[in-house]
Structures are given as structure tokens and as C-alpha cells.
Amino acid sequence: MLQWSGAILTALCLYPFLRFISFTVKAKPRHVTVPAPLPLSGYHAERDFLLFAGTNKQKPFAVSRTCTHLGCRVSYLEDKEIIECPCHQSRFRTTGEVVSGPAKRNLSTLEVTVQKDTNGRVRAYVVTL
Ligand code: FES
């Protein structure tokens, strides 16, 4: 009985310590503003993301440039309309879906907010990382 009480007391004392050492602070979201209009190609490449203007019915959207295989920076191949990783040639659609591996997971999609002026014209795109 005494041993069980000691074990429970030890667990109760260790629990707050274990919670403390496993505590991580979430990174603050970063907002990157891309001025409008986008180039005629319809996309804009930043260090961390690719922003696409989207079609008439499609809203602007952005995908991460970090490959889901081993983390290389992907590039958009305009002529093939495909995103490709230079390291092991994983290919993704512009929406981030995997077309061919070795990557198995889609590229992360990022939130895009459109800023408009008083006339309703698009002034800028804000991508949240
Ligand atoms: S790191 Fe992109 S395919 Fe391997």
C-alpha cells in the first residue's frame, strides 16, 4: 500500500514537470502581402509559397513551396503547368495535389485574403503562413 502511494505521489509530482518540458510555443502566423495585379502568367513565386490568381470562378490560392517528401523547395513549371521538386522530381498540381512521387502527401495550402480598394478593385493579396 505504501509503495502504491509513493508511486502515485511521484506521478503527481512529475506530471507538471513533464508538461512543462514538453510545452512548445506556437509560431505566430506570418502575413506576406503581394501587391496586385499578379503578372500575366497568373502566378507569383515567393521564397515560401506560390500564389496563383485562380480562374474567374476560382478564388486566388497559395501552396507551400516545401516539398512533402524531404523538404526541398518546389518550383512552378509554367510551360507544363505543374509544380515540380528539383530534388527527386515529385510533381504536384497547382492546387498542391500529388501527381507523381516519391512525395505521398499534397503540398500545404495557405490562406489567401484579398484586399480591395473602395472601388472594389483588388489592391493586394495577403498570404498567411
Ligand atoms: S524532396 Fe521533393 S521529391 Fe524528394
Nearest-atom number in ligand 1 for the CA of 71 is 1
Pocket of ligand 1 (CB under 6 A): 67, 69-70, 72, 85, 87-88, 90, 102-103
Going from the C-alpha of 8 to that of each of 11, 20, 25, 97, the distances in angstroms are 5, 19, 29, 49
Cis, bond preceding 37 (omega within 30 deg of 0): yes
Cα–Cα distance measured from residue 36 to residue 32, given in angstroms and rounded to the nearest whole number? 13
Ligand 1 centre from 66 Cα, in Å?
9
Nearest-atom number in ligand 1 for the CA of 70 is 1
Quote the pLDDT of residue 2.
Answer: 74
Q: 122 has which bridge partners? A: 116
Lowest mean pLDDT among 31-35, 55-59, 71-75: 55-59
- The pLDDT tens digits of the residues spanning 67-82 come to 999 999 999 998 888 9
Nearest-atom number in ligand 1 for the CA of 103 is 3
Residues 6+ apart with CB under 8 A from 71: none
Ligand 1 centre from 78 Cα, in Å?
19
